[in-house]
Amino acid sequence: MDRSAVSAFTFSTAASVRFGWGSLAELGQRVSSYGDRVLVVCGRRVERVQPCLDLLDQCGKKPTLFELASEPKVEDIERGILQVREGFDWVLGFGGGSVLDAAKALAIMAPQPGSLMDYLEVIGRAQPFPLPGLPVVAVPTTAGTGSEVTRNAVITSPDHRVKVSLRHDSMLPTMALVDPSLACSLPAPLTAATGLDALTQLIEAFVSRRANPLTDACCRQGIPRALRSLEKAVHAPEDPSARTDMALASLYSGMALANAGLGAVHAIAGPLGGMHPSAPHGALCAVLLPHSLERLHAAVRNLQPTPTCLFQLEALAEMILGDPKASITEALSWLHAWVASFALPSLRHYGLSQQEWPLLAEKALASSSMKGHPVDMTLQEVCDLVQRAY
């Protein structure tokens, strides 16, 4: 059963999306009208971005590199702001979600007065941006975050042991150029972790209290693709159909979360990653996901009138097992076993202590992701969820 009542909603995404195997080759023609000076944000494997730089050179652009060694930290973005304010016309992000987030952060900050702390949420002053940012072209090389179509950038503050965001509508990229072939060289663990992040984003957006018919459509397309293709992408990394499915699932997940929000899994995984930076975000999400869905089902299954999210859980069960008669309990049992097949560590593996659970729960409850969770949670309930995945 679908959502029966449709309230007014808004759906925002990148101004232009180009998707296709080998589509990176079109970069030059698609940015021909952009200014000449482009800041190219990339990861530490600079050799991967060379084809992109060659294409920019061929169309007369003047690319300058900004390299990230890891997930963007406050000091990285502050360093990049000094560089981008030297007079660049636009920014190109070529890499995983962290690289794309850094590109969006630098683009929005380039024209703004003041410092990064004026605009950061939670640890900063969270002031509204007075000016739109520079144009951004996002070229993802992983299939996980969907950052190429989202309006925020996640930044780590080691001093505060937290991940925080910059957020603004003009941070939506001017163009998302999604070439599934760029992910073929990803190591298997990274393929798994990023793909599980995409699946979690799709499922949380699907059951979110802020979902709408367009985000539902994205999730209904993305969830089956991720479930049928992630294992193949891990074990046969150059398989075109698997990589295409995962790139689409990631793209859909970004569109869905940008408009419907997320839920308890991301509310916990985000702060946990800030407290223990070695923990891979996608792996945290995957370990938490089945437990979160079980708790959600237990909380709503006997409520009257029947809440919308119970219908969504029934639809999710059908997508997971491919059977319209599948029960939620059966589907979640299968999901538990499927996630376990990836042999992911439990939460304790990353150094999380039981003494930290209340602090983690407080941060989770204050997270913007928790606003999308279908039911309100208490601090103790969050701790119980953490314990199940511990």
User: Residue 67 forms beta bridges with which residues?
Assistant: 42
Q: What is the pLDDT of residues 141-195, one digit of tens each?
A: 999 999 999 999 999 999 999 999 999 999 999 999 999 999 999 999 999 999 9
- Residue 190's contacts (CB-CB under 8 Å, 6 or more residues apart) are 142
pTM above 0.75, yes or no: yes
Share of the chain above pLDDT 70, in %: 99
CATH code of the domain made up of 192-234+262-388: 1.20.1090.10
Q: Up-side HSE of residue 385: CA atoms within 13 Å toward CB?
A: 31
Task: Please report the beta strands in the chain, taking only residues with DSSP state E, as ranges in sequence order.
Answer: 17-19, 37-42, 62-67, 90-95, 136-140, 152-157, 162-167, 175-178
Q: What is the reported pLDDT for 4?
A: 60
Measured distance CA(113)–CA(180) in Å, rounded:
38
Instruction: Write the CA distances from 325 to 18, 197, 280, 319, 331, integer angstroms.
Output: 37, 27, 35, 11, 11
List the chain domain ranges: 17-183, 192-234+262-388
Degrees, nearest 5: CA angle 207-342-349: 90
Residue 91, helix vs strand vs coil:
strand
* pLDDT recorded at residue 1: 40
The fold of 17-183 is Rossmann fold (3.40.50)
